[in-house]
A and B are shown apart, each in its own frame.
Chain A
Amino acid sequence: GAVVSQHPSRVICKSGTSVKIECRSLDFQATTMFWYRQFPKQSLMLMATSNEGSKATYEQGVEKDKFLINHASLTLSTLTVTSAHPEDSSFYICSAGGTTSNQPQHFGDGTRLSIL
């Protein structure tokens, strides 16, 4: 079945560092990918829709200058958390696939980001 791969699975870094997370669709092309954030004991919150070849669409309240999204190819979207601070520590998850409403999205295994 469709596979979505995220890298890295875990990252720990100092405050002020920028961190890039990759999301790849391994066996299909994805014109659209989605990025989510999940805090402990909470549900997934949609952050943005990543569109291949165009600007991402951000959900209300998500800072686009803080969370930079690049979707330069049909199999890769990246999320960069710029100048990360401890409050940005979270579980970041991407999904891809399901370009029509009758097709499921497939999720990556997430990236655990810890900012010290």
Chain B
Amino acid sequence: DAKTTQPTSMDCAEGRAANLPCNHSTISGNEYVYWYRQIHSQGPQYIIHGLKNNETNEMASLIITEDRKSSTLILPHATLRDTAVYYCIVRVSNTGNQFYFGTGTSLTVIP
């Protein structure tokens, strides 16, 4: 079962930062937080992942709270192509590294 909760939907103005929250209060100490996004009728695309420290790559930044019970994905300058469903996933570490997807957040970037 998914160990994350996310808002169902969010809007963001084009060019502004999109901040997508995720709660994972039951996360274990060695479990990573992963973010993927899915554009309609395509497979999920990897964005970023982290364990404790904040992470940044060319796509986004990931901010993980000190207690690791929540995180925020930041798209610094949202474009129309960032409109997608964003999934926050806690990777199960004790049974085979499976991904159990939650409901995700449908992000709409508005012109």
The 0/1 profile, CB within 8 Å of B marked 1, for residues 32-74 of chain A is: 1010100000011110010000000100000000000000000
Q: How far is the CA of A34 from the CA of B95 in the complex (A)?
A: 13
Contact status B96-A108, CB under 8 Å: no
Contact status A109-B42, CB under 8 Å: yes
How far does the Cβ of B27 sit from chain A's closest Cβ, in whole Å?
Answer: 12
- A114 interface residue (CB < 8 Å to B): no
Selected from A44, A105, A109, the residue in CB contact (under 8 A) with B46 is: A105
Selected from B32, B41, B43, B103, the residue in CB contact (under 8 A) with A43 is: B103
What's the interface size class on B, roughly? 20 to 34
Residues in A with CB closer than 8 Å to B98 are: 34, 46, 49
What's the interface size class on A, roughly? 20 to 34
- B44 interface residue (CB < 8 Å to A): yes
Query: Closest residue of chain A to B43, judged by CB?
Result: A107
Contact status B46-A106, CB under 8 Å: yes
Contact status B97-A44, CB under 8 Å: no
How far does the Cβ of B83 sit from chain A's closest Cβ, in whole Å?
Answer: 16
How far does the Cβ of B33 sit from chain A's closest Cβ, in whole Å?
Answer: 11
**Which residues of B come within 8 Å of A, CB atoms?**
2, 30-32, 34, 36, 38, 41-46, 49, 51, 87, 91, 93, 96-104
6 further contact pairs, Cβ within 8 A, besides A34-B98, A104-B34, A104-B49: A43-B101, A44-B87, A44-B101, A49-B98, A57-B96, A91-B41
Closest 6 CB pairs of A and B: A107-B43, A44-B101, A104-B46, A43-B101, A107-B44, A109-B43
Can you name 19 A-B residue pairings with CB atoms under 8 Å? A6-B43, A32-B96, A34-B99, A43-B2, A44-B44, A44-B87, A49-B96, A93-B44, A95-B44, A95-B99, A100-B97, A101-B30, A101-B97, A102-B32, A104-B49, A107-B45, A109-B42, A109-B43, A112-B41
